[in-house]
Structure 1
Amino acid sequence: MPPGEVVVANDAIDFNRERPAWRLHRVPHVLSGLSEALDWQDTYPLRDAYEAFCRETVWGALHFAIGRTSPHDAERMSLRFQALLHFWEPLESVRYLFSSPSAALTLRELVEKSCSWAMDAWCPGGGDSVRERLETAAERMSRATREDSKEAILRQLPRVLTLVRDLKHREAVADPSFQRQRLSTLDSAAFARVSGAHPGTLIEKLYDWDHELGTH
């Protein structure tokens, strides 16, 4: 791809659909076709194999690192960020449309907008470059214990709470001691799901807790 070329990197909004452009969201379309061929039966092994293959490619690595494709556990997100970091130099040569059709971003700006949640949760404090912070976050996620993940989640939850408007028991759910207690009671599978401290999975968990409080 020629240096300076523009890539549509938003996986929910296709800016200027009529305009010829490189579109990152085409990456998962192949998986949809493969899943359909299996009649959508037992697609998890296929999903994991397809992602592992894509992470070995430049655009696949970028898609899975900045997109919203589940799962978002710490181990999986570490692999995604490591793949992105591996292709950092070639990915720096182009520009990206992500949050606005008129603002073409550098790779650093794209990662800052799409992956700040991971850097804030796993590499708090800032000060280093975006690339260095992402490297640190990926390394910490790769060797995270349950306690490490719990602390990352607790750092993330205040930010996530600002994104949720309609909790019926906001004061209780926002209490750090309540959050810590509820995280401690999750079984291994449920905790693994939220272990990456991804905002989307944490929003789901907040609604679960809010609902549970309403049933007691």
Structure 2
Amino acid sequence: MRCGKQYRKDGTFPIPQQMHEIASGEVVLAHEVVDFQREQPSWRLYMVSHVMTALSEAPEWQNPYPVRNAYEAFFRQTTWGALFFATTHMGPVSAERTAARLQAVLRFWEPLQSARYLFSTPNATHSLEELMEASCGWAMNAWCPTVESSVRARLETATKRMAQATREDCIEAILRQMPRALSSARGLKHPRVLAEPSFQRERLCSLEPALFEHVSGACTADLLEKLYEWDRELGMQ
């Protein structure tokens, strides 16, 4: 409510009323959906999504996306905001937006390294590098496929490439990531056709700019959604 009220007034957001410094070694729950340690005291990044949801559902916003985008851009300037938006993949996960999210994390890399993170496996704490590998490995696989470099170096390279990417660059990154998306797909009726790079390229080239932007980052979840859509379309031909 405070965020919405101030944004309507002057287009800005209030800074948090209270900030706490996280001591070295403390645990941060970074999973966007599942809170698998409710009984344990922990820093919980996913609570940010409650504000995003409230901004979307508030009746005064006929189009909630400008205020959501502004909220994200503002809070990516904080350490916890940068980490939240990089690891949750709130859509659309375009190449441009992903680059901005990863750039924010890279700016705060040193302080973020001091904490430990819970992500998708209960009781398995991760370093920052392990967290970024688990949550953003798709971006490194698609945009910096070499695995000899460190996680930070690969993220820096991927971020630079995404920020400067042309549509053709994005298509090439998507094609590199498609085999991984296909390996996660279940129940496809036309898997052989969908696995053909020529088919994938043809369909990607035919997308309208706004629709292409939604998949331009090559996020596996977005590509899966597109594969299921194409599979349904093939069934109607």
Q: Secondary structure at the match of 2:184?
A: coil
In 2, the alpha carbon distance for the partners of 1:37 and 1:119 equals 36
1:56 aligns with 2:77: yes
Aligned mate of 1:126, from 133, 140, 147: 147
In 2, the alpha carbon distance for the partners of 1:41 and 1:200 equals 27
1:47 aligns with 2:72: no
Q: Give 1:93's aligned residue.
A: 114
Greater relative CO, 1 or 2 (CA 8 Å, sep 6+): 1
TM-score normalized with structure 2 length:
0.88
Q: More displaced, 57-66 or 37-46?
A: 37-46
Whether the aligned pair in 1 keeps the contact of 2:55 and 2:68 (CA below 8 Å) is no
Gapped regions of structure 1 (runs ≥ 5): none
In 2, the alpha carbon distance for the partners of 1:196 and 1:100 equals 26
In 2, the alpha carbon distance for the partners of 1:96 and 1:205 equals 31
The residue correspondences of 1:18-29 to structure 2 (distance < 5 A) are 18-29=39-50
Aligned mate of 1:153, from 162, 167, 174: 174
In 2, the alpha carbon distance for the partners of 1:191 and 1:42 equals 21
Identity of aligned pairs, percent?
A: 58
Q: Secondary structure at the match of 2:85?
A: helix
Alignment: residue pair count: 216
1:7 aligns with 2:28: yes
In 2, the alpha carbon distance for the partners of 1:166 and 1:172 equals 14
Q: Secondary structure at the match of 1:96?
A: strand
In 1, the alpha carbon distance for the partners of 2:44 and 2:60 equals 27
In 1, the alpha carbon distance for the partners of 2:57 and 2:225 equals 27
The alpha-carbon deviation at position 140 of structure 1 amounts to: 0.2
Which 4+ stretches in 1 moved above 6 angstroms? Answer: none
Aligned mate of 2:223, from 187, 202, 205: 202
1:213 aligns with 2:222: no
- Residue 105 of structure 1 aligns with an amino acid whose one-letter code is H
Gapped regions of structure 2 (runs ≥ 5): 1-21
After superposition, the CA RMSD in angstroms is 1.1
The residue correspondences of 1:67-146 to structure 2 (distance < 5 A) are 67-146=88-167
The alpha-carbon deviation at position 184 of structure 1 amounts to: 1.2
Whether the aligned pair in 2 keeps the contact of 1:6 and 1:96 (CA below 8 Å) is yes
